């Protein structure tokens, strides 16, 4: 196993050296190189079927399949991504982001945690699975799908999944792009919030107007927009779109109990996630973890209008714009929230103002698996074995393509992740804790074995 | 008079050719040239005392004095400015802005109306006065003060006035930088609103925060700021700073009657001043003209925070800023409103947010002269004679250094102006209506005569 570990770290370092920043066209060649690198490693490892899907405009994705010997064994599709976030502000990195450094049990570099580390973890997991069971093929049919556009919002994922529907068919999706709650509190993630981004613009006239000549006598689009934004939440920080909470699924008692039992240091959380915010704030009756995991939100991501440069310009702005995003939880749907938002904007557009609502694509639906789903119970068992202690439930506040994958595959989706929330993903000095990845690999090795057991296999494949 | 008119237009064209854009350092040499040009014309006209005040950092101002023969005659200080607004967007001018064009009875070019035309009007007015009365010196001691920084907000005016206190001493100030209500509705302006500019910033943490990881659980500075802006007005568009209306002086019944009797085409006003705004809006119980002339306001001039570029970035902004300006009416004072604003911001800063209030200098106090002030009655008489019809009262919604001049001189200040609100000052295709300037010159000629009459002179100089 020590040899496996050494080659695992060496490999991951090699991969991190490839600056596969998908959102930056100057790095698209690197995204191709990254896909090629992964393809070669999979072939090296003996995966019988390995392909790079490289049909523009999508950045290349890697697909691999290793059939089980038993044709009745379930098929599991593992999802991850090999594109990475940009590195700005690069001057705040202690080491160059694409020159990985080992420090204690950490590996530092862009993508080490998100998501190359976790994809590499699966390659190691399969080796460990084969070694432990003495098999020449996995106990389940394993499919690996590693996309190259996750950090860009997976704009071509739906098409890619549709184009390769047959190849991707499976009985279960394992989504590998979420974290443990804490190093000493291993958890199984059971869901992610969805997101709908919208841009609301209020127009007065065609030009800015001198505030001396007309101030006090015509509507001010910035003031009107501020009133709309102010009306978006009630005094309890609840979102005031009509019907917004109708479809919100409450977490189970077990989930709430688990969340409450997790270690949570508010000050440290604020320092890590609040950008130095001085206080938490949110819906009464819910803890901070519940507010970010199982409650929907509306947040202003940006607001602008009129003169915003240095000094002053006494104008009434011609227009003002707010970028607002809604985080959604099961069973909300972006389409329905979009309708609610349009209605809210209509109601809050005063006379003399024209409003426009632009949406960011179709939005990302939320997803959660029931904790007692047999597939999820298999993950809990595998994780408990690997971490040698009972694992608890957690959620993720962010969004990803889980719901899309689940809906298109038409099968359950579970989460397997072994990184940490303070891995500084999307930020300078990203790192991953190597021993956690090793445990994650062990969990995967257990999971394939557990899923092949007759009773769960039957339930998955029926 | 025809010869006087011809040379008047030729002179004004010459002056407009000098691009004295004071706010643009690349044009500071032109501001100097403009001051020199005016100095030379005043000497040409026989003003015995002419100076250019050119002590940096103030841009040059021109001062001239022509003493009356009778040492007991009142002293009148005429104020104007020779700097002009920038010309952007230059592509929307039908003619180059500094190549003046005569079209019908209009003269087009930057500064033709604001304020070179009105200063030139006074030079002509004095000539007419001397010609009509057969005198070799004006009936009152005339002082002319033409500054070069009005369009920059007169940042060094207080110092200039203090440095030249003796030279500027007078019994009355005539402020020449306001307009008639309409071509067919000559009016005497009796006041201008003041202004206080402020920048309110709300800070959350030091960095933007991922809205998935923390959304719903920490305060959003943009949302908090929107709530503050929304709270700035009640449903009747009244400003909600505590005590804001305490010092507001109501217009007289005569003034309100005059304002109501003035022609006012709302649609045309919106087209000219609303930048295409679709409706008027404001405090109930006041007309549009009253709302912009005699009522104070709070307007958001600009708002910004978070991500405002193309596309989306799902963050909670680290900070958000609103530039807000208050137009003030007598007897409000910027200092007092600044205190009220700071208190309002303090009250509307939620837990977890830090606020900062920055002010634009000391602000500009409002000013109004009582319609029945003897000096104002003299202006009304002079204007009625020149326009050959009774003139009514009006106000200006914008702000200027009138209150500063009045306060430092310690004497009444009256307004004499003959331009129009739709002269497109500060905008492309600025123009002035020449026959109105000629009437304004005639009014000035009458005014010097009227002010020298024993009874009013005694009241002014006592």
| Closest residue in chain B to residue A400, using alpha carbons only | B212
Three-state secondary structure call for residue A293: helix
Sheet containing strand B319-328, edge to edge, reads A354-359, A194-203, A319-328, A297-306, B297-306, B319-328, B194-203, B354-359
The per-residue pLDDT for A208 is: 87
CATH architecture of B2-192+366-461: 3-Layer(aba) Sandwich (3.40)
Q: CB under 8 Å to B389, separation ≥6 — which residues?
A: B186
Chain B residues within an 8 Å CB radius of A396: 212
Using the beta-carbon criterion (under 8 Å), do B219 and A279 form an inter-chain contact?
A: yes
Q: How many angstroms separate the CA atoms of B399 and B332, rounded?
A: 13
Question: CB of B417 within 8 A of CB of B177?
Answer: yes
For residue B292, what are its two tokens? 């912009």
What class is the A2-192+367-461 domain? Answer: alpha beta
Q: How many angstroms separate the CA atoms of A387 and A380, rounded?
A: 10
Q: CB under 8 Å to B50, separation ≥6 — which residues?
A: B39, B42, B43, B62, B63, B64
pLDDT in tens, B246-276: 999 999 898 999 999 999 999 988 887 766 6
Using the beta-carbon criterion (under 8 Å), do A230 and B233 form an inter-chain contact?
A: no
pLDDT in tens, B227-246: 999 999 999 999 999 999 99
Instruction: Please state, as a whole number, how many other Cβ atoms lie within 10 Å of the Cβ of residue A343.
Output: 13
Q: Report the pLDDT averaged over residues A82-89.
A: 92
Using the beta-carbon criterion (under 8 Å), do A302 and B292 form an inter-chain contact?
A: no
HSE, side-chain direction, 13 A CA sphere, residue B88:
2
At B406, phi and psi to the nearest 5? -65, -45
Report the relative pairing of strands A297-306 and B297-306 from DSSP bridges.
antiparallel
The per-residue pLDDT for B274 is: 65
Q: Report the pLDDT averaged over residues B42-62.
A: 95
- Judge whether residue B346 has pLDDT over 90: yes
Higher-confidence residue of A415 and A213: namely A415
The per-residue pLDDT for A6 is: 87
Closest CB to A306: pick one of B230, B273, B301: B301
Q: How many angstroms separate the CA atoms of A203 and A319, rounded?
A: 4
Q: Which helix (H) or strand (E) holds A37?
A: helix A28-45
Using the beta-carbon criterion (under 8 Å), do B351 and A226 form an inter-chain contact?
A: no
Q: Which helix (H) or strand (E) holds A304?
A: strand A297-306
Q: Cis bond leading into B450, ω under 30°?
A: no
Residue A314 DSSP code: -
The per-residue pLDDT for A1 is: 60
| Closest residue in chain A to residue B193, using alpha carbons only | A212
Q: For chains A and B, count residue pairs whose Cβ atoms are closer than 8 Å.
A: 326
The per-residue pLDDT for A96 is: 97
Chain B residues within an 8 Å CB radius of A204: 274-278
Chain A residues within an 8 Å CB radius of B350: 281
Closest CB to A327: pick one of B215, B232, B317: B215
Q: Which helix (H) or strand (E) holds B306?
A: strand B297-306
- Right CATH for A194-248+296-359 from 3.30.70.360, 3.90.580.10, 2.70.210.12, 3.40.50.300: 3.30.70.360
- Judge whether residue A274 has pLDDT over 70: no
**Integer-rounded Cα radius of gyration of chain B:** 24
- Judge whether residue B436 has pLDDT over 70: yes
CA of B312 vs chain A CAs: smallest distance (Å): 7
HSE, side-chain direction, 13 A CA sphere, residue A202:
32
For residue B302, what are its two tokens? 């600009």
What class is the B194-258+291-359 domain? Answer: alpha beta
Three-state secondary structure call for residue B20: coil
Percent of chain A with pLDDT over 70: 99
The rounded Cα A319 to chain-centroid distance in angstroms is 34
Asked whether the CA dihedral B364, B305, B316, A225 is positive or negative, the reply is positive
Exposure letters B183-202 (e unless 16+ CB within 10 A, then b): eebbbbbbbbbbbbbbbbbb
- Judge whether residue B199 has pLDDT over 70: yes
Question: CB of A251 within 8 A of CB of A372?
Answer: no
Within B148-241, strands assigned E span 172-175, 187-192, 194-203, 209-210
Higher-confidence residue of A328 and A205: namely A328
Using the beta-carbon criterion (under 8 Å), do B217 and A325 form an inter-chain contact?
A: no
pLDDT in tens, B145-183: 999 999 988 999 999 999 999 999 999 999 999 999 999
Question: CB of B161 within 8 A of CB of B413?
Answer: no
Q: How many angstroms separate the CA atoms of B442 and B131, rounded?
A: 11
What is chain B's mean pLDDT, rounded?
A: 94
Tokens 């862009």 label which residue?
A110
pLDDT in tens, B273-323: 766 677 899 999 999 999 999 999 999 999 999 999 888 888 999 999 999
User: Which of B153, B239, B294, B300 best tests the A interface by mutation, with the highest count of A CBs <10 A?
Assistant: B300
User: Which of B291, B301, B402 best tests the A interface by mutation, with the highest count of A CBs <10 A?
Assistant: B301
- Judge whether residue A450 has pLDDT over 90: yes
At A54, phi and psi to the nearest 5? -130, 60
Closest CB to B300: pick one of A218, A222, A301: A222
The per-residue pLDDT for B113 is: 97
- Judge whether residue B205 has pLDDT over 90: no
Q: Report the pLDDT averaged over residues A406-435.
A: 94
- Judge whether residue A385 has pLDDT over 90: yes
Q: Report the pLDDT averaged over residues B197-222.
A: 92
Instruction: Please state, as a whole number, how many other Cβ atoms lie within 10 Å of the Cβ of residue B416.
Output: 23
Closest CB to B299: pick one of A206, A316, A321: A316
Choose among A9, A151, A142, A160: nearest CA to A82.
A151
Q: How many angstroms separate the CA atoms of B35 and B62, rounded?
A: 6
The per-residue pLDDT for A461 is: 79
Choose among A90, A98, A132: nearest CA to A4.
A132
Chain A residues within an 8 Å CB radius of B179: none
Range with top average pLDDT, A427-431, A442-446, B425-429:
A442-446
| Closest residue in chain B to residue A321, using alpha carbons only | B308
Residue B263 DSSP code: -
Q: Report the pLDDT averaged over residues A97-126.
A: 97
Within B343-399, strands assigned E span 354-359, 367-368, 392-396
Task: Kindly list the distances between the CA atom of residue A309 and the CA atoms of A7, A253, A313, A462, B150, in Å, as whole numbers in the listed order.
Answer: 53, 51, 9, 63, 21
Chain B residues within an 8 Å CB radius of A237: 216
Chain B residues within an 8 Å CB radius of A222: 229, 300, 302-303, 322
Residue B182 DSSP code: B
- Judge whether residue A276 has pLDDT over 90: no
pLDDT in tens, A165-199: 999 999 999 999 999 999 999 999 999 999 999 99
Domain ranges of chain A: 2-192+367-461, 194-248+296-359
Provide the pLDDT confidence category of residue A59 given band limits of 50, 70 and 90.
Answer: very high
- Judge whether residue B109 has pLDDT over 70: yes
The per-residue pLDDT for A455 is: 86
For residue B215, what are its two tokens? 């959304």
Q: How many angstroms separate the CA atoms of B311 and B103, rounded?
A: 47
The per-residue pLDDT for B276 is: 63
What is chain A's mean pLDDT, rounded?
A: 94
């Amino acid at each position: 196993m020590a040899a496996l570990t050494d080659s695992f770290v060496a490999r991951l370092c090699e991969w991190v050296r490839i600056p596969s920043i998908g959102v930056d066209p100057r790095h698209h060649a690197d995204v191709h190189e990254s896909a090629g690198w992964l393809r070669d490693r999979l072939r090296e490892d003996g995966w019988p079927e390995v392909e790079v899907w490289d049909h523009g405009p999508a950045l290349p994705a890697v697909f691999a399949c290793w059939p089980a010997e038993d044709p009745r064994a379930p098929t599991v599709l593992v999802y991850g991504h090999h594109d990475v976030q940009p590195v700005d502000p690069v001057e705040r990195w202690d080491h160059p982001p694409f020159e990985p450094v080992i420090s204690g049990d950490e590996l530092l570099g862009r993508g080490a945690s998100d998501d190359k580390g976790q994809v590499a973890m699966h390659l190691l997991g399969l080796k460990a699975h084969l070694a432990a069971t003495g098999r020449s093929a996995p106990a389940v049919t394993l499919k690996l799908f590693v996309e190259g556009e996750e950090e860009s919002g997976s704009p071509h994922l739906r098409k890619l999944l549709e184009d390769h529907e047959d190849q991707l068919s499976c009985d279960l999706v394992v989504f590998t792009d979420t974290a443990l709650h804490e190093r000493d509190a291993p958890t199984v993630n059971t869901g992610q919030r969805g997101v709908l981004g919208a841009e609301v613009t209020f127009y007065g006239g065609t030009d800015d107007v001198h505030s001396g000549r007309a101030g006090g006598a015509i509507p001010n689009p910035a003031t009107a927009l501020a009133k709309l934004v102010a009306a978006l939440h009630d005094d309890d920080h609840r979102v005031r779109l009509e019907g917004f909470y109708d479809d919100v699924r409450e977490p189970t008692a077990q989930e709430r109990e688990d969340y409450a039992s997790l270690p949570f240091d508010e000050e440290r959380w604020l320092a890590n996630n609040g950008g130095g915010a001085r206080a938490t704030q949110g819906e009464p009756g819910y803890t901070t973890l519940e507010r970010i995991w199982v409650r929907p939100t509306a947040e202003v991501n940006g607001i602008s209008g009129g003169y915003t440069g240095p000094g002053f310009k006494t104008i009434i702005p011609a227009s003002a714009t707010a970028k607002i995003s809604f985080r959604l939880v099961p069973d909300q749907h972006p389409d329905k929230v979009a309708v609610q938002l349009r209605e809210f904007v209509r109601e809050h557009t005063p006379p003399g103002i024209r409003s426009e609502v632009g949406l960011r694509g179709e939005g990302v639906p939320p997803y959660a698996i029931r904790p007692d789903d047999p597939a999820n119970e298999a993950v809990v068992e595998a994780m408990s074995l690997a971490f040698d202690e009972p694992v608890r439930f957690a959620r993720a506040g962010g969004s990803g393509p889980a719901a899309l994958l689940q809906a298109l595959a038409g099968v359950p989706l579970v989460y397997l992740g072994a990184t940490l929330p303070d891995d500084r993903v999307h930020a300078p000095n990203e790192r991953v804790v190597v021993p956690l990845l090793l445990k994650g690999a062990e969990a995967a090795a257990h999971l394939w074995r557990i899923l092949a057991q007759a009773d769960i296999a039957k339930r998955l494949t029926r």
